Chains A and B, each alone.
Chain A
Amino acid sequence: MARMSSVSTVFHRAVPFWRNVRFIRALSQIAFAILLAVVAGALYSNMKHGLESRGLWGGFSFLRLEAGFDIGEGITYDPSDSYARAFLVGVVNTLRVTAVGIVLATILGVVAGVARLSSNWLVNKMASVYIESIRNTPLLVQLFVWYFAIILKLPRVKESIALPGSVFISNRGLTLPWPVPSSSFGSWLPYLIAAFVVAVALLIVRTRGGRRTGRPPFSLLWVGVPFVAIATLGWFLALGSPYVLDVPSLRGLNYKGGLTLTPEFTTLLVGLVLYTGAFIAEVVRAGILAVPRGQIEAAKAVGLNEMQILRLVTFPQALRIIIPSLTSQYLNLAKNSNLAIAIGFPDLFNVAGTIFNVTGRSVQVIVMIMASYLSMSLFTSLIMNLYNRRVQLVER
């Protein structure tokens, strides 16, 4: 009780400043910041000293100099172009393999994830064997197996494996027919635009109507059919076929026409798609399993068939759970694409490595690599977060 009487004096007695919480907080932060600055400063001055003595210090002006080395594939580039152009070739190559890889890995992942939950014993076990064997070996080893043990050991161009539809597989890569816009493409373009405008207008009308009446909008039917119909009509009304299928044919020692993917690109694509697909499959499976059983039972009770349950009940709910993990798998795919260096595909990391070897500008090159990957990561996260917000809105 003696303490009670002294309560009023406690407020008046000044707390010594070194015991004041606000003081301690401020001091510890300042101390941390100073420590950080000292360490960073020491490292920086060491680096600057070391690089200056070798004449490698400076900004990014070296990027304007002539590169002088060759790059295997990518957008138009000549050894007499600048380092900046060379780096751009690498960036575009990375984006190319990442974009195609994400699409294919998603398809494979969803198929494998659903197969892993199949009631068919054989399909189920096959999916598990695929997922477990891929997830438990390093991607780099898989790329080596694909590149050195399979793709480079494929038959030569003369004896290449021909698949139906003029697709050829050889140790020069994958050659497939590719549609090329012809001279009449210009006369078809207005029809395509018209089809698109009509489809968008119908989509808006149907969605509004659906929201008002509560009836299902049947978007696919009402939007897809008119789009295809107008586009097809235009195809025949246009002066000649707007696209020509460029079919590859063997001329001498190589293929003429069509689209040829180099062995390096094919390897990287196959490796990344199979690897990421296995991880996406697990994400999809977890998402589907997380949908409460009652939802599926209720859907069965109202008389939906299996396909309808999957499409209308399970997937929309699983999607919410899947999206965040899917995003990180996409980011992993983009980051893993730099293993291209091991098989000689000129992605941004590989080209940057060459620039470093030629110029010795280590700091600048590392800054360029990091900035590229960080901006790619941020951009992907941004898009996926926007999509995620749309999907999550459905939640009650």
Chain B
Amino acid sequence: MAAISEAARPPRTSVGVLGWLKENLFSTWYNTLLTFGSLWLIYVILRGIGTWALTTARWSVVITNLALFLVGPFPREDVWRVWICVIMVALLGLLTWVLWEPLGRGRTGARRWVIAGWLLSFPLTLLLLRGLGGNSILPPVGTNLWGGLLLTFVLAIVSIVASFPLGVLLALGRRSSLPVIRMFSTLYIELIRGVPLVTVLFMAQIMLPLFLPEGMRVDKVMRAIAGFTLFTAAYIAENVRGGLAAVPLGQYEAAKAVGLSGPQVMVLIVLPQALRAVIPPIVGQFIALFKDTSLVAIVGLMDLLNIAKCVVAQPEFMGLKREVYLFVAVIYFVFSYAMSYASRRLEVALGVGGR
């Protein structure tokens, strides 16, 4: 009777492994039925896949062509340049994690350096991959030689970076009080969101050369990037618009009251708050873009999926489509899942996911 003020916990109905089993698998008759049905299904699927993967499958095709999957036709003597980029990004990632996660708050100076490093790594990577003209240390490597997972990542990263400012501008345009600008932005966003990505890519491959004056050529990779950028910008614009709508009206009014001009209100007060709220959806957009880069296989670029198509077309690897396509699926899964996991952590860290 002494502990009457404390809320009494309900009595425990289950203890130990058997208790857990009863509670989670066999609580009612239909749950028991479901459990046995699921067990049977899992058994059938695992037996089928397991037998094939361990006995019939010839995984040597994956190991033989691993370099091809990773960098495509990139010159083998220049692959060290790709490795430098990977190491640079990995180091930056590690530094970021160390500075943000275990060390907690503070260390703004070091953080600024890391952010500068991230910004610098982008042009540096492109320079390393592209090479300098006529130089013996960094001979130029044309984009037609970029391929495999490397091309997949280049397409996704360059497109998301390029589409971000465009998306922010379109979002601001859609919320603008000027009717002409608002109508143009709305029309653009809705038009792009109403058509499939392949159509936009197709258009970028075929129409872009037509739009340009004669004699001006844009290579295939750049055209694909243009297509992805124009497409993703419309979706990012909608994300940013959501973020802008989430900024309380009082923020605008307060900023105006202290005498900031219109652009200052946007850049200094509203956008920083809006963009912070849209980081998780934009990471989601990036993951979607990473997966969507596989569509360039349709317009004939040598990305991971198209390399896989080429590998299984070789006579010595005939009939190994299962192995190759499953391997490609696993690669996409590993990267997308890792990114969505990181994004969920980021959401928690930013404290904006619970909205």
Contacts and interface: CB of A to CB of B under 8 A. Distances in A.
Interface in B249-288: 287
B144 interface: no
A219 interface: no
Contact of A377 (B194, B295, B337): B194
A341 B298 contact: yes
A188 to B, nearest CB: 38
Interface string A122-145: 110010000011011111111011
Interface string B273-311: 000000000000001000110110110000001001100
B103 interface: no
A29 B203 contact: no
Contacts of B3: none
Interface stretch (A46-54, A79-87, A223-231, A384-392): A46-54
Contact of B199 (A136, A362, A369, A378): A369
A209 to B, nearest CB: 35
Interface stretch (B63-71, B204-212, B222-230): B204-212
A338 B198 contact: yes
A32 B180 contact: yes
Given A122-B38, A342-B297, A374-B195, A138 B326 contact: no
Given A119-B31, A121-B24, A366-B199, A28 B207 contact: no
B317 interface: no
A149 interface: yes
A46 B210 contact: yes
A214 to B, nearest CB: 33
B322 A153 contact: yes
Contacts of A122: 24-25, 34-35, 38-39, 42
Given A149-B325, A149-B326, A366-B199, A133 B333 contact: yes
Contact of A47 (B39, B198, B210): B210
A341 B197 CA distance: 13
Contacts of A342: 297-298
Contacts of A47: 207, 210-211
Nearest to B177: A25
Given A148-B321, A342-B298, A126 B198 contact: no
B297 A32 contact: no
Nearest to B291: A138
Contacts of B210: 46-47, 50-51, 362-363
A243 interface: no
B6 interface: no
A29 B178 contact: yes
A373 B195 contact: yes
A43 interface: yes
B325 A366 contact: no
B25 A370 contact: no
B141 interface: no
Contact of B213 (A46, A144, A148, A362): A46
B297 A132 contact: no
Nearest to B33: A120
A144 B332 contact: no
B191 interface: yes
Interface in A19-59: 25, 28-29, 32-33, 36, 43, 46-47, 49-51
Contact of B184 (A36, A335, A349): A36
A32 B181 contact: yes
Contacts of A144: 305, 308-309, 321, 325, 328
Nearest to B287: A136
Nearest to B42: A126
B178 to A, nearest CB: 5
Nearest to A132: B337
B196 interface: yes
A259 interface: no
Interface string A4-26: 00000000000000000000010
B184 to A, nearest CB: 7
Contact of A366 (B178, B180, B206, B291): B206
A338 B34 contact: no
Nearest to B199: A369
Nearest to A375: B194
Interface string A313-342: 000000000000000000000011011011
B214 interface: yes
Contact of A123 (B38, B184, B292): B38
B294 A138 contact: yes
A335 B180 contact: no
Given A136-B332, A138-B292, A336 B206 contact: no
B333 A140 contact: no
B110 interface: no
Contacts of B326: 145, 149
A118 B191 CA distance: 40
A78 B178 CA distance: 53
A335 B200 CA distance: 12
A377 to B, nearest CB: 4
Interface string A334-363: 011011011000000100010010000011
Given A138-B294, A141-B325, A363 B333 contact: no
Contacts of A138: 291-292, 294-295, 305, 332
18 contacts: A43-B211, A50-B214, A51-B210, A119-B24, A120-B27, A120-B38, A122-B39, A136-B337, A137-B291, A137-B329, A145-B322, A335-B195, A335-B196, A336-B196, A349-B196, A363-B207, A369-B195, A369-B199
Interface of A: 25, 28-29, 32-33, 36, 43, 46-47, 49-51, 118-123, 126, 132-133, 135-142, 144-145, 148-150, 153, 335-336, 338-339, 341-342, 349, 353, 356, 362-363, 366, 369-370, 373-374, 377-378
Given A123-B35, A136-B336, A339-B198, 13 more contacts: A28-B178, A46-B210, A120-B31, A135-B336, A136-B332, A136-B337, A137-B291, A138-B291, A141-B294, A145-B329, A148-B312, A335-B196, A366-B202
